[in-house]
Amino acid sequence: MSIDEETRNKAAAARLHDAVATRDLEIVSKTIDELVAPDVLFHAPVPMGMTGVQALKQVWTVLFRAFPDLYVTVEDVIAEGDRVVARNTVTGTHRGEYRGMPPTGRSVTYGEIFIFRFEGGRIAEVWGVVDVFSQMRQLGVVS
């Protein structure tokens, strides 16, 4: 893997982040179609019975419905070989149904780390570690 490929992969991850920052599901969906392999393997704490790009798109549909002001701040990005790692801080206000929970109006701030594996210039696999416990604690679900 060359430095150029690592730079390209980091740029692709940044494009995905920029699309998410618009909070526009159409832009997010189009960007996913451009940057992500259709059969992407998606490993994250989001049970929904979907696979591939549909699972990734559904994540954003659910999050934007629940947290319409959701914002992901990228704290660190590391690229090596075919992987890009992003450590993020997520903020938002719970204004819509989320995981069966009606809106609370509470604000949340939680951390997450995502690893993207690239193949042929596209994201082929995603691992996500999301601080769901902190999210649920801030929403009042757990103490």
Which pLDDT band, with edges at 50, 70 and 90, does 143 fall under? confident
| Pair 130, 44: CB distance under 8 Å | yes
> Within a 10 A sphere around the Cβ of 42, how many other Cβ atoms?
22
β-bridge mates for residue 101, sequence order: 98
d(CA 21, CA 70): 8
Domain-embedded: residue 90: yes
Please give the pLDDT value at position 44.
79
| Pair 114, 123: CB distance under 8 Å | no
| Pair 19, 27: CB distance under 8 Å | yes
Domain-embedded: residue 143: no
Domain-embedded: residue 105: yes
Domain-embedded: residue 102: yes
Domain residues for 116?
Answer: 3-138
pLDDT surpasses 70 at 47: no
CATH at 99: 3.10.450.50
In this prediction, residues 18-44 reach a mean pLDDT of 95
* Phi and psi, residue 114, nearest 5°: -120, 140
SS3 1: coil
Please give the pLDDT value at position 20.
96
For 84-137, how does the pLDDT look when each residue is reduced to its tens digit (9 = 90+)?
A: 999 999 999 999 999 899 999 999 999 999 999 999 999 999 999 999 999 999
| pLDDT higher at 93 or 2 | 93
| Positions of E strands within 23-121 | 36-43, 71-80, 83-93, 107-119
Which pLDDT band, with edges at 50, 70 and 90, does 42 fall under? confident
Total domains in the fold of the chain: 1
β-bridge mates for residue 83, sequence order: 80, 117
* Average pLDDT of the residues of the chain: 93
Domain-embedded: residue 98: yes
For 49-59, how does the pLDDT look when each residue is reduced to its tens digit (9 = 90+)?
A: 777 888 889 99
Q: What percent of the chain has pLDDT over 70?
A: 96
Q: If residue 63 lies in a helix (H) or strand (E), which one and from where to where?
A: helix 52-66
pLDDT surpasses 90 at 48: no
Please give the pLDDT value at position 64.
97
pTM: 0.91
